[in-house]
Structure 1
Amino acid sequence: MDELIGFVTGNKNRQKLLALLGSKHQLDAVKLAKNMHIARPSVDKVLGELIEKELVIQESDVYKLTEQGEALERKVQSI
């Protein structure tokens, strides 16, 4: 878990995206980009990284946290 905390906190966009999905529960990539105020390709890159680490899953056109992602998001928020 510590490795994943470092992975997320080492990048502001990863941290923002995780927190946003933690509070909104599910969003599509367009809404994530608008809420984060970054370009869509940047959101796609971060989503890909978080999906690879099994912190985020895609269902249809929306993204949401996995159980592991939710646990990590709570830990990161408490730091």
Structure 2
Amino acid sequence: MEDLIGFVSGNKNRQKLLTLLGSKHSLDAGKMAKNMHVASPSVNKIIQELLEKNLIKQDGNSYSLTELGETVEKKIQSI
């Protein structure tokens, strides 16, 4: 768990994306990029990283937090 918290909190945009999904619950990549003011290719790279770590899941074109992602997001918010 600590390694995942470090992984997310070590990158401002990873942290932003996880927090965004924590508040919005489900978004597509384009809306995430727009909300975060980050270029789509960067958001797509972060999405892939978070998918690989099982912090987010894909449902069609949308992404949402997994249970693990929710736990990590809450812990980062409390730091």
Q: With the length of structure 1 as denominator, give the TM-score of the two structures.
A: 0.99
CA deviations on 1:10-63 (whole Å, 9 max, x unpaired) are 000000000000000000000000000000000000000000000000000000
The aligned counterpart of 1:19 is 19
In the alignment, structure 2 segments of 5+ residues that lack a partner are none
Aligned pair count reads 79
Displaced runs of 4 or more, over 4 A: none
SS state at 1:31 partner? helix
Instruction: Output the CA distance in 1 between the equivalents of 2:14 and 2:25.
Output: 16
Superposed CA RMSD in Å reads: 0.3
Return the letter of the residue paired with 1:53: K
Q: With the length of structure 2 as denominator, give the TM-score of the two structures.
A: 0.99
In the alignment, structure 1 segments of 5+ residues that lack a partner are none
Shift of 1:74: 0.3
The aligned counterpart of 1:30 is 30
2:8 corresponds to 1:8 = yes
Identity %: 66
Instruction: Output the CA distance in 2 between the equivalents of 1:32 and 1:53.
Output: 19
Instruction: Output the CA distance in 1 between the equivalents of 2:77 and 2:47.
Output: 19
